[in-house]
Amino acid sequence: MKINEGLAKKGAGKVNLYNLIGYIQLAIAKQYELDPASCFVTESHFFQGRFRADDTTDAELYDDRDFEDRLIYNDVVFHYKHIGVLAEGGHREKGIDVWYALETYELALFRDFDFIVLITGDADHEMLARKIKALKKQVVLLTWNFAEPDSTSPALKEECTFHIDLAELSKIDGFRNKLTGRKLTYSELCADEKIPFMKNAF
């Protein structure tokens, strides 16, 4: 959801998850010199802390449901844990990062994946990336930090085998339009030579 906030500041619409997943497949195929037709995202998982219904507004509940609809449409499995609201104000989000790391490592251990794509910028996940690489699997880092300066952990970037920086790519108008526009076919995704990993990439 943070990517939608970042894109909104740039006057763009919400991210089209179908196109984003398609771009990830193309980027990995290009980087590792694979046939794009044999490169698929087979599982996607989303982890987030979530306020209870009594602690949110109707508008926030609608936004959450709208986002969930898009996750479901793209076969993304979502994992939620309640955020605790403190009596003195503020809130406490506990356990999401640990759950994310444990679930990701378990999937890497028991599933026959060649690549694991981590969508995070947290330094706490540096060791997760290292452990996954110990399983002889490639770790791709995808970030979309629109803040200045970029708060993505340098140690995490270094530990991963390949980094896709959507904040940088979103500066390209054509890419931003593909990311937020209508659902695109494979040939349409590949049709702009100004966008990295697109036209003539294969």
**Tens digits of per-residue pLDDT, 86-115?**
666 666 667 889 999 999 999 999 999 999
- State residue 196's pLDDT score: 59
- State residue 8's pLDDT score: 47
Task: Give the residues across from 91 on adjacent strands.
Answer: 85
Q: In sequence order, what are the residues at sequence separation of 6 or more whose Cβ sits closer than 8 angstroms to the Cβ of residue 188?
A: none
- State residue 170's pLDDT score: 78
Q: What is the DSSP string of 14-43?
A: ---HHHHHHHHHHHHHHHTT--GGG-----
Q: Which helix (H) or strand (E) holds 47?
A: strand 44-50
- State residue 1's pLDDT score: 47
Each residue's pLDDT tens digit in the chain (202 positions)? Answer: 444 454 444 444 578 888 889 889 988 988 898 988 888 899 999 999 888 888 888 888 898 898 899 899 999 999 998 887 666 666 666 788 999 999 999 999 999 999 999 998 888 899 999 999 999 999 999 988 766 667 788 999 999 999 998 888 877 777 777 778 788 877 777 776 555 554 433 3
- State residue 125's pLDDT score: 94
Residue 21 corresponds to which tokens in the numbers above?
């997943």
Residue 95 corresponds to which tokens in the numbers above?
């356990």
- What domains can be seen in the chain, in order of their start residue? 2-189 (3.40.50.1010)
- State residue 194's pLDDT score: 56
